[in-house]
Structure 1
Amino acid sequence: MFEQELSIGPLRMTLRASGGRTRGALRDETSSVGWDLAFRKVPGLGEPLSMLPSARLLDTSVPNNKLVSPFPVAACSGSLEWDGEHWDLDGWHGMQGHNWGSEHSPEYAWGQAIFTDTGTGEPFAVMEGASGRTRIGGRVSPLISMLVVRRGDDAYRFDRIVDLWRQRPRLDFPEWSLHMRGRDGTATVRMIADPAQMVCLAYRNPARATSYCLNSKTAAVSVHVAPVNGNALELRSAHGGALEFLVPQPVPAVQPVV
């Protein structure tokens, strides 16, 4: 059975094929935070997700930044303590992603959202997408986009990344929008974040200068999918989207810079 333990100072993380657990505590002169969070894979929607069209691309040099979501939909339990305030995380849903490679993309927007039933609170759909540039032969590519939408037992993939004429991405901070056509139909995604509810994370780039990730976990998101066969579907959340922009310099509207 797969199991891996990771430790960095006071932080601990355990990963298994079925889920994982993270716990730890941090403190400085003005604030403190501690957490003990467990998560488990939600069957179906929570199976590992890659937006790339082929698993073979995970072992090639292009694109130079890889990403896979081992747990795109996870059921959470545990708690968080922030400056004496207690948060009960039982019944929350989240995701656990992973990225690696020789360098970060020169520019990207990445978005993910889990959609839950308003009555039961159970997840019924998930979306993950990205638009970014990569370096090929010393040159920076145009924006290349990928998108996967899962709803129940159905999956709609828009992953023909070289078909640039079938994708219309727009990165206009704090908004990311994307329209794509593919073998499964057409899809349109729009996500917008509030800069006042974002943080700026400095990403040390293995091959280039430091980049800055403008990171939101409360973005508004809307998704429209028109399948080749079947009825169109609409997915919306007022504040349930994770949205990131990678930029070369910090943006003054997003504080703090970490």
Structure 2
Amino acid sequence: MIDLHAARFGRFAAGYESFYLRAGHPDGGLGVWIRYTVHRRAGAAPTGSLWFTLFDAGAPAPVAAKLTMPDPETGAGDWLRVAGGRIGPGAATGQIAVPDGPQVDWELRFDGAAPLAHLPRGWLYRTPVPRTKPVSLHPVARFDGTVTVAGRRIELAGWPGMVGHNWGSQHAERWIWLHGMGFAGAGADTWLDVVFARVILGKGLTPWLAGGALSLAGQRFRLGGVTRHRAVAVTETPDSLRFALPGRGVTVSGTVTAPRERFVGWVYTDPSGSEHHVVNSSIADLEVSVARRGAAPETLRATGLAAYELGMRERDHGMVIQQFSDG
């Protein structure tokens, strides 16, 4: 049995690793996205970074900060320790204070649902391909604690969210992460968590592949998988997504959108030195249609509580990218 929580960067000759979380106000429109990452180029020592974003629908743009330091660590009960910040079972802390940037700090507690492995078979987490290994340690979670951003103190009391983990030797050529929670009229045990990717295989680029799950009142339905890739439909732009995705006994389709000013943009660097631009809104609007065998169709809506992330090679997307280097 593979340990989905354990840090891998100590075994890398070159690679990257990330533990991350998102949490949103139950009414939507206000949320945080925090990452603890390790980056290692071939022949170099690993570096660690703390990444922070506050999304507020009432603000002109997200507030973003990043701090990179040497010597990331693991052990002593933590999954990862970076630049004085820690994430581990049930807790996440950190502080970023850099010249000409907002000072932010957080102290959070969480608990949540059992892990979701996005890859369909456990052995795929032990093989070189796919080069990225995505896991949701808690595909839905509850957060309590505080976040302070440039003197603004925000109390989190039962905010819904999630906790994730990924690692690998190379980012996918193009990817999408979609996470939905806080659906109107549904409980906390109804959520959507899916990763889409196009990867270079041989000399070509694969069609969209997908993996994840839909939970309806606690019943999980696996989505995607290699054998279902022909039925995956994706139309993506930097600020919107339309998708259709088959699963085991279920088909989901839907849309996610957010105004461009509700996105943060970052540079992600591969260990090889190539770069992606990555845009993320963690206060997006999501509508999902669910068709199940033997059941009436359902529509799920989450307003200001969905996450949509797109990783891309193009530079002419018109989105604002933070001026932080990576790696």
Q: Is the 8 A contact 1:65 1:104 kept in 2?
A: yes
- Unaligned runs of 5+ residues in structure 1 are none
Aligned pairs for 1:142-221 within 5 A: 142-207=207-272, 209-221=274-286
- Unaligned runs of 5+ residues in structure 2 are 6-76
**Which of 1 and 2 has higher RCO (CA within 8 Å, sep 6+)?**
2
Q: Is the 8 A contact 2:174 2:312 kept in 1?
A: yes
Match for residue 21 of structure 1? 92
2-side partners of 1:147 and 1:189: how far apart?
15
Match for residue 109 of structure 2? 38
Q: Is the 8 A contact 2:177 2:196 kept in 1?
A: yes
Match for residue 26 of structure 2? none
| Alpha-carbon distance, 1:5 to partner | 5.2
Match for residue 128 of structure 2? 61
> Equivalent residue of 1:56, what SS?
helix
2-side partners of 1:153 and 1:12: how far apart?
30
| Alpha-carbon distance, 1:25 to partner | 3.7
1-side partners of 2:166 and 2:208: how far apart?
18
Q: Is the 8 A contact 1:115 1:235 kept in 2?
A: no
Q: 2:146 aligns with which of 68, 79, 82?
A: 79
Superposed CA deviations along residues 162-205 of structure 1, whole A, max 9, x for unmatched, are 43322212222211121123431321131112211111111111
1-side partners of 2:101 and 2:218: how far apart?
47
Matched, 1:8 2:73: no
The CA RMSD measured in Å over matched residues stands at: 2.2
Matched, 1:109 2:180: no
Matched, 1:254 2:325: no
Q: Is the 8 A contact 2:183 2:302 kept in 1?
A: no
How many percent identity over aligned positions? Answer: 24
Q: 2:309 aligns with which of 237, 244, 249?
A: 244
| Alpha-carbon distance, 1:220 to partner | 0.8
| Alpha-carbon distance, 1:131 to partner | 2.1
1-side partners of 2:124 and 2:254: how far apart?
24
| Alpha-carbon distance, 1:116 to partner | 4.9
Aligned positions, number: 248
2-side partners of 1:104 and 1:30: how far apart?
28
Q: What code does the residue aligned with 1:254 have?
A: V
Match for residue 223 of structure 1? 288
Q: What code does the residue aligned with 1:103 have?
A: Q
